[in-house]
């Protein structure tokens, strides 16, 4: 799947991740010739957002170190758009989580880059890996920061009639 993931002029971060999630889901349906009467297709996209700027995957070492320097000692947002296409039509949602970083030292950022972990991660870090050592707090969905907010994803799949392990057959919003 080859999608243009460029940010459009003046495109807000929430619209950006939702657009990419939708386009990925639609491309998967078209590419695999999927019958949406029987199958649901799920796609997601995540962005790290600081001061309104979308920090995507770093282009190189210099870019990664610059991103980590910007995130150092600050709180940023991680936005994940999730889109589903299936028997019940189209659905999508955005999960937004605030992540706070401790102050980082350049030498540790250099060592982190050498680990290879930040090379293909939005914002140049992975909270599920060594990047967790930078995080002082999160407010929101941990799984959304990883890249797939499970609560929201489960709700979208439920709307499509897809059962999960915990599915009771009742609307998740009515439980409890």
Placement of tokens 């959304």 in the chain:
144
- Quote the CA–CA distance of 156 and 94 in Å, as a whole number: 11
Kindly give the residue spans of alpha helices, DSSP state H, lying in the chain: 13-32, 61-71, 106-115, 142-146, 150-159
The single residue of 2, 14, 45, 63 carrying the catalytic annotation is: 45
Containing 102, the helix (H) or strand (E) segment is none
What 3-state DSSP class applies to 93?
A: strand
Handedness of CA 6, 9, 14, 19 (dihedral sign): negative
- Residue 106 burial (CB < 10 Å; 0-12/13-18/19+)? exposed
- 8-state DSSP, 51: T
- Quote the CA–CA distance of 41 and 35 in Å, as a whole number: 10
Known catalytic membership, residue 92: no
Let me know: does 94 contact 18? Beta carbons within 8 Å: yes
Query: Catalytic residues, which ones?
Result: 45
């Amino acid at each position: 799947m080859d999608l243009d993931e460029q940010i459009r002029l003046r495109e807000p971060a929430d619209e950006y991740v939702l657009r990419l999630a939708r386009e990925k889901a639609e491309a998967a349906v078209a590419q695999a010739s999927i019958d949406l009467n029987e199958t649901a297709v799920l796609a997601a996209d995540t962005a790290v957002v600081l001061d309104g700027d979308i920090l995507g995957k770093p282009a190189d070492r210099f870019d990664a170190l610059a991103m980590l320097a910007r995130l150092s000692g600050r709180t940023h947002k991680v936005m994940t758009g999730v889109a589903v296409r299936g028997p019940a039509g189209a659905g999508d949602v955005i999960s937004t989580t605030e992540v706070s970083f401790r102050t980082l030292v350049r030498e540790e950022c250099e060592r982190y880059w050498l680990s290879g972990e930040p090379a293909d991660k939005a914002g140049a870090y992975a909270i599920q890996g060594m990047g967790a050592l930078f995080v002082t707090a999160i407010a929101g969905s941990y799984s959304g920061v990883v890249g797939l907010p499970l609560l929201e994803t489960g709700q979208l799949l439920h709307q499509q009639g897809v059962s999960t392990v915990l599915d009771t057959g009742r609307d998740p919003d009515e439980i409890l």
